Amino acid sequence: MITPIGPHTNLEMNREVLYMTAKEESEENVIYVGNKPPMSYVLAVVTQFNSGSTEVIIKARGRAISRAVDAAEITRNRFASDAKVKEIRIGTEAITNEEGRTSNVSSIEIVLAK
């Protein structure tokens, strides 16, 4: 679902961010790794598998990338030994901050499948 944006939004940056958020929220089997402890994301992945998903994608950017790998490894070693690493993709995303400056940040997507 695409969130409509009012005419008061004149920054291209904001529009992109809103579109991306709307799109990503519709993907139920995607877990976004941030600054919480790794076990929070392990729990999210396991819950997703238990609800019937055969594939869960763990995504992270910047420093959270190491935590995403932790979450994938803890899931496989302790909670879902039948889950395999199907694919790992890395990439670079351009992020625009509030001052309009653009910087690059690395990203990772770890696809776990049963």
Kindly list the distances between the CA atom of residue 81 and the CA atoms of 43, 72, 78, 101, in Å, as whole numbers in the listed order.
14, 11, 7, 43
Per-residue mark of binding to a copy of itself, 25-64 (x: CB under 8 A) = -------------------------------------xxx
Q: How is residue 2 annotated by DSSP?
A: P
Q: Which stretch binds a copy of itself (CB under 8 A): 19-27, 29-37, 44-52, 66-74?
A: 66-74
Q: Which two tokens stand for residue 38?
A: 């790794």
The residue with tokens 């049963």 is 114
Question: For residues 49 and 70, which CB has a smaller minimum distance to a copy of itself in the complex?
Answer: 70
Token readout for 86 is 């199907």
Structure tokens at 91: 């990439």
95 beta partners? 103
Residues 84-113 that bind a copy of itself (CB under 8 A): 85, 88-92, 104, 106-108, 110
Q: Which residues sit at the interface with a copy of itself, rule CB under 8 A?
A: 62-66, 69-70, 72-73, 77, 85, 88-92, 104, 106-108, 110
